[in-house]
Chains A and B, each alone.
Chain A
Amino acid sequence: MSRHTLSPHQYLILGLVSICAPLGDTCLSRGMTHLPAITLTHPGSLISAVFTPWIAIGIALLIGFFASYLTALSWADLTYVLPATAFGNVIVALLSKFWLHEPISLERWTGIVLITIGVGFVAQGPSRTERPAETSPDVRPAVAEGERVP
C-alpha cells in the first residue's frame, strides 16, 4: 500500500459512489413527479411521500452513496474521490442513451468525453497523499477504539 494502489474491493466502493447518487436522484425525481402537487398547507403529504416505492428506493440509494463516499474518503484523497462522483453523470447519460434511447447532443457527448479523460488522469495516479503520520502504527488502532488522536 506504499504507492496507495486500490484493491478490487475499493474500486467497487468507488463504483458505488459513482452510481448510487445519480440513480438515487433519478428515483427521487421519478417518484416526486408521479405524486400530486405538495403544498406547505399539507406537510403530512411530504411525510407519506417518503414511503412510496420510488422515493424509498431513492433514499436508500442516497444513504448507500453517503456510506460509500465516507468509506472512500477514509482511504483516498478528496481530489481522488470527487471525479468518481462526477463520473456518475456519465453513467446516467449513457444509460439514458442506450436504455431509454434519449438523444444526446454533441455538447453532452463532449462533456462525457472530458469527464472520462479527467477521471482517467486521476485514476492513473496514487489514491492518497503520502503523510509521515501514516507510518506510525499506533494512530489507526487508537481511533478505532473511539479515542481522539491529539
Chain B
Amino acid sequence: MILSSSSAHPGPWTAAAMVAAVVLLSTAGEVLTAAAMQSIGDLDEIRARSGMKGAIRAVITSPLFFAGVGFLALAFFALLFALNHLDLSLVAPASASLTLVTNAIAARLFLHENVDRRRWASAVFVCVGVYLLAH
C-alpha cells in the first residue's frame, strides 16, 4: 500500500516513519491519560461526593493527565503533518487501526491490564475492521 504512492510522495520508509510517529505519540497520549484516570479513581463516585467542581478539580490537578493531553496534541500535529505529505486513504485507516494494537501492547506493559486472549482477539478484529471501514 505504501509503495503505491505517487512519485511526488515521500518514499515508503519516510511514509512508514510518519505513520509510526502518529501511532506512537497517540499511544503514549492514550496510555498516560488512562493512567491518570486510574490514579484519580471513579469520576462518578467523586462527582457524587464532591460535585462536578470536585471531579473537574481532580482531573485538572493531575500531571499525568496533562502529559497525556500533551502527547495527544503532538499526535494531532503529527497527523496533520502526515496528511500534508501522504494520502488520507493511507494515513487515516493505518494510524487508526495500528493504534488499537499498540494500545493493547502498551496497556499490558505499562498499565498492567489483563489483556487476555479475548482482548487480543478483539484488538485484532477491530484493527482490521477499522482499516476496512476507513479505507
Q: Given the known A-B contacts A78-B113, A82-B103, are A144 and B132 also in contact in the complex, defined by CB atoms under 8 Å?
A: no
A51 proximal to B (CB < 8 A): no
B42 touches A75 (CB 8 A): yes
Which residues of chain B are within 8 angstroms of A129 by Cβ–Cβ distance? 112-114
Which residues of chain A are within 8 angstroms of B45 by Cβ–Cβ distance? 140, 144
**A16: shortest Cβ distance to chain B, in Å?**
13
> A112 CA to B131 CA in the complex, in Å?
10
B57 touches A146 (CB 8 A): yes
Q: Given the known A-B contacts A90-B133, A110-B132, are A118 and B126 also in contact in the complex, defined by CB atoms under 8 Å?
A: yes
A79 touches B115 (CB 8 A): yes
Q: Which of A27-35, A41-49, A53-61, A66-74 contacts B (4 or more CB under 8 A)?
A: A66-74
Q: Given the known A-B contacts A78-B34, A115-B130, are A144 and B122 also in contact in the complex, defined by CB atoms under 8 Å?
A: no
Q: Given the known A-B contacts A70-B59, A107-B135, A144-B50, are A118 and B111 also in contact in the complex, defined by CB atoms under 8 Å?
A: no
Q: Given the known A-B contacts A129-B114, A146-B57, are A73 and B131 also in contact in the complex, defined by CB atoms under 8 Å?
A: no
A74 touches B38 (CB 8 A): yes
Residues of B27-73 at the interface with A, using a CB-CB cut-off of 8 Å, are 30-31, 33-34, 37-46, 49-50, 54, 57-59, 61
- Dominant secondary structure of chain B at its interface with chain A: helix
B131 touches A82 (CB 8 A): no
> A108 CA to B121 CA in the complex, in Å?
20
A83 touches B126 (CB 8 A): yes
Band of interface residues on A? 35 or more
Q: Given the known A-B contacts A77-B107, A78-B30, A89-B134, are A144 and B46 also in contact in the complex, defined by CB atoms under 8 Å?
A: yes
Which residues of chain B are within 8 angstroms of A116 by Cβ–Cβ distance? 129
Which of B103, B107, B113, B122 counts the most A-chain CB atoms under 10 A from its CB? B122
**B residues apposed to A, CB below 8 Å:** 30-31, 33-34, 37-46, 49-50, 54, 57-59, 61, 96, 100, 103-104, 107-108, 111-116, 118-119, 121-126, 128-135
Q: List 26 A-B contacts (CB under 8 A).
A: A70-B59, A71-B43, A74-B38, A75-B44, A77-B111, A78-B34, A79-B115, A82-B30, A93-B133, A110-B129, A110-B132, A111-B128, A111-B132, A114-B129, A115-B125, A115-B129, A115-B133, A117-B129, A121-B122, A140-B41, A140-B42, A143-B41, A143-B46, A144-B50, A146-B57, A146-B58
